[in-house]
Amino acid sequence: MVGRDLRTSKRLDNKAYQMKGREPQEAEQALKPGRREEFRKDSPITQFSHSVRSLGSRWYGCYRRGSEKFPRTFALVFGVILPMFSLIFVSLIFGYGLSKVEAPAEEKKNNGIIGSRISLYISAAVDRIVMADQQRFCLLNYFRELEEEVTNDALQNRILNMIDGQIINFLGDSDDALLEWSGFDLGEPKSYFKRYPEDENASFLGVEVANRGEYNMSTISNVTSFLESMENCNEEIFKSTRFTSTSNMLYYFNQYNPFDDVTFNWVKCPISKKSSNQTNNGSDLLIEKNEMAEFFAAFQVESAGNQLKAVTQAWERNFDELFLSKYKSYWQDDGNNRLDARTRAFEEAFLEADGFKGCIPDTLSASWFWFVFMTTIGYGNATPETPEGQAMSYTFGFLCILMFAMVLTKASKIVGMLYDDLVQQHKATRWLRRPCVNVIVWAFYFYLWLVITAISLMSLRKVGLLGMDLSFSASFWLSFISCTTVGLGDYSINAQDIGVGSVFGLAFLFLVGLTLGAVFISSVGDACTGFSERYTRQLEEDLLNHPYHKGKERLDALPDQ
């Protein structure tokens, strides 16, 4: 009894020592028996921790009971299928973020390429006019000067009328608002676009001219005044066309090559077909077949469906609106010189025109890129171009590559173990476990799956994911470079039109192929390892049985002199 009291007193003294420095009430409450247990029991954090551990224990216990009862099924489902499909969902998550980062930069680049193409087209048209009709235009202007006084401003206006008329014809809008507020008479300029039939009686420099249109002058009487008029006219044409000339256009858009592809790797543009009398609020992109679409088709054969035509026409319409509004503002409202107003409006309209209004980030296309990147296939047909996208690739992307390597290693080991267990159950099939036979079996499975994948890839040409019709040999080559992660890039999956079903279907084909390829490589490694071990043991025995070693052993056995 005394010993028990002493032990109790010692425990109370220890508690009192631990509570030293606290308030008396806190120390008194802490000395009460069961206080600490009540505090732990009533803590929300403790309750949550117990709940999580309890739930985890129940799930783990259920998993263990199921795996003990159905080991093969649980290993296949939880060790192979679910981890593999989790890679697809990881690709969807990071693909969404990557598309958000890369889409604005791709839209800007595409707008620049489309602008450089249209500028090249317009400048070529203007150069064609100048080269074909410049002298004829100046000749008619000389005859006009003989009958009436023509100022440089009037000449410049006629030149700009001609060029603006060509641009309006190019834009394909005959009832353009430019005609309404400017009062341009395109009847005369349009006549300059056509090549007049050669007149047998026409001549030059003082020779008789039989047919000169509306002017009835028979000869060029003053050669000096004629040459001065022609020189002045040519200078005005050069001034009026200096910005739209091919050299200036190419210099101005030197950062964008008009022959580069307009890509849709990170952006997707919804397309709607509407009649021409319906208004467009900018959220939809219209498809209208015209001369421009045929011209741009030569730049990019493998276009993303009809998106290329749609965004090109949307860019054209937006440029048209910007050019007209700025032209009117700078010329009529601000009172600037017409040529300066036109040049400034033309320049700013090209820089600000946007054909991607209403387009959205393409999560599926970016997800397919992330899957190809994560599995190290890497076709090389799409790459992140922004610093943010590249940072995502070498940080989160590298972690995803490590995760893929772990999943693939575990999956290949489980599949190999399940195969060994299956052939071990019967005496008639145990010979299949021999290393060399095992290599042949897995090589057969791997190449059989390559054939299945190649046949499946051939059907993708119907939905445009390959961009071309592939033969069986080309499809087999594509499946081989994909399932071996070589990814040479000569053939690739065009992700610009990819859908949800294609993402999951292609990922399934490639993941199964990657797993079978990993098992095949592992079997080759096991066979080579077994051969290497046998060779090493045989070499050790041969070295020990060599006469040199036997003679040395006899010498070592002799007694020392």
Q: pLDDT tens, 498-524?
A: 888 888 999 999 999 999 999 999 888
| 107 pLDDT tier (thresholds 50, 70, 90) | very high
Q: pLDDT tens, 270-279?
A: 765 443 344 4
Question: Which residue in 398, 381, 400 sits closest to 390, CA to CA?
Answer: 398
**Cβ–Cβ under 8 Å, residues 88 and 504:** yes
By three-state DSSP, how is residue 360 classified? strand
**47-61, 103-117, 120-134, 290-304: least confident range:** 290-304
Find the mean pLDDT for residues 526-541: 75
pTM of the model: 0.69
What pLDDT, on the 0 to 100 scale, is given for residue 2? Answer: 43
What pLDDT, on the 0 to 100 scale, is given for residue 445? Answer: 94
Verify that 278 and 192 share a domain, yes or no: yes
What pLDDT, on the 0 to 100 scale, is given for residue 16? Answer: 47
Q: Which residues contact 21 (CB under 8 A, 6 or more apart)?
A: none
Concatenated DSSP letters of 304-329? STTHHHHHHHHHHHHHHHHHHHHHHI
Question: Which residue in 36, 449, 113 sits closest to 296, CA to CA?
Answer: 113
CA 251-254-258 angle, to 5 degrees, is: 110
Is the pLDDT at 7 greater than 60? The verdict is no
| 467 within domain boundaries | yes
CB neighbourhood size of 154 (10 A):
13
Q: What is the CATH number of the domain that holds 465?
A: 1.10.287.70
Verify that 397 and 291 share a domain, yes or no: no
Verify that 336 and 373 share a domain, yes or no: no
**397-406, 428-437, 442-451, 457-466: least confident range:** 457-466
What pLDDT, on the 0 to 100 scale, is given for residue 135? Answer: 74
| 88 within domain boundaries | no
Verify that 193 and 309 share a domain, yes or no: yes
Find the mean pLDDT for residues 182-206: 33
**Cβ–Cβ under 8 Å, residues 385 and 102:** yes
Tell me the one-letter amino acid at 381. Answer: N
Q: What are phi and psi for residue 68, nearest 5 degrees?
A: -70, -35
By three-state DSSP, how is residue 271 classified? strand
**Can you list the positions of beta strands (E) in 227-357?**
267-268
By three-state DSSP, how is residue 498 classified? coil
Q: pLDDT tens, 59-99?
A: 767 767 777 788 888 888 888 999 999 999 999 999 999 99
| 204 pLDDT tier (thresholds 50, 70, 90) | very low
What percent of the chain stands above pLDDT 70? 63
Is the pLDDT at 11 greater than 60? The verdict is no
Find the mean pLDDT for residues 249-262: 71
What pLDDT, on the 0 to 100 scale, is given for residue 491? Answer: 85
Q: Which residues contact 188 (CB under 8 A, 6 or more apart)?
A: 158, 161, 162
Q: pLDDT tens, 328-349?
A: 888 877 677 777 888 788 888 8
| 557 within domain boundaries | no
Q: pLDDT tens, 360-412?
A: 899 999 999 999 999 999 888 889 999 999 999 999 999 999 999 999 999 99
Is the pLDDT at 21 greater than 60? The verdict is no
Verify that 294 and 202 share a domain, yes or no: yes
| 39 within domain boundaries | no
| 57 within domain boundaries | no
| 46 within domain boundaries | no
**Among 321, 341, 360, where does a domain finish?**
360
Is the pLDDT at 193 greater than 50? The verdict is no
Please tell me the distance from the alpha carbon of residue 235 to that of residue 164, in angstroms, as a whole number: 18
Q: Where do runs of H (alpha helix) occur along 353-463?
A: 363-374, 387-394, 396-424, 435-458
Find the mean pLDDT for residues 426-437: 77
Find the mean pLDDT for residues 547-553: 60
User: Angle between the 500-544 and 435-458 helix axes, to the nearest 10 degrees?
Assistant: 160
Q: Which two tokens stand for residue 45?
A: 């954090």
| 300 within domain boundaries | yes
Q: pLDDT tens, 108-118?
A: 999 988 888 88
Verify that 484 and 445 share a domain, yes or no: yes
| 235 pLDDT tier (thresholds 50, 70, 90) | confident
Please tell me the distance from the alpha carbon of residue 453 to that of residue 6, in angstroms, as a whole number: 82
Highest mean pLDDT pick, 93-107, 311-325, 434-448, 454-468: 93-107
| 281 pLDDT tier (thresholds 50, 70, 90) | very low
Is the pLDDT at 532 greater than 80? The verdict is no
Q: Which residues contact 543 (CB under 8 A, 6 or more apart)?
A: 549
| 211 pLDDT tier (thresholds 50, 70, 90) | very low
Find the mean pLDDT for residues 542-550: 67
What pLDDT, on the 0 to 100 scale, is given for residue 357? Answer: 86
Residue 180's alpha-carbon distances to 44, 109, 185, 320, 483, in angstroms, are 76, 34, 10, 14, 63
Q: pLDDT tens, 118-165?
A: 877 777 766 666 666 677 778 777 777 777 776 667 777 777 777 666
Domain span including residue 354 = 93-360
Verify that 338 and 386 share a domain, yes or no: no
What pLDDT, on the 0 to 100 scale, is given for residue 14? Answer: 52
Chain mean pLDDT for the chain = 73
Q: Which residues contact 201 (CB under 8 A, 6 or more apart)?
A: 208, 209, 210, 211
Verify that 298 and 399 share a domain, yes or no: no
Verify that 341 and 199 share a domain, yes or no: yes
Verify that 340 and 441 share a domain, yes or no: no
**How many structural domains compose the chain?**
3
| 322 within domain boundaries | yes
| 545 pLDDT tier (thresholds 50, 70, 90) | confident
By three-state DSSP, how is residue 217 classified? coil
Verify that 401 and 270 share a domain, yes or no: no
Q: Across the chain, which distance is largest between two alpha carbons, in Å?
A: 148
What pLDDT, on the 0 to 100 scale, is given for residue 227? Answer: 82
Tell me the one-letter amino acid at 516. Answer: L
Q: Of residues 408 and 305, which shows the higher confidence score?
A: 408
Verify that 370 and 282 share a domain, yes or no: no
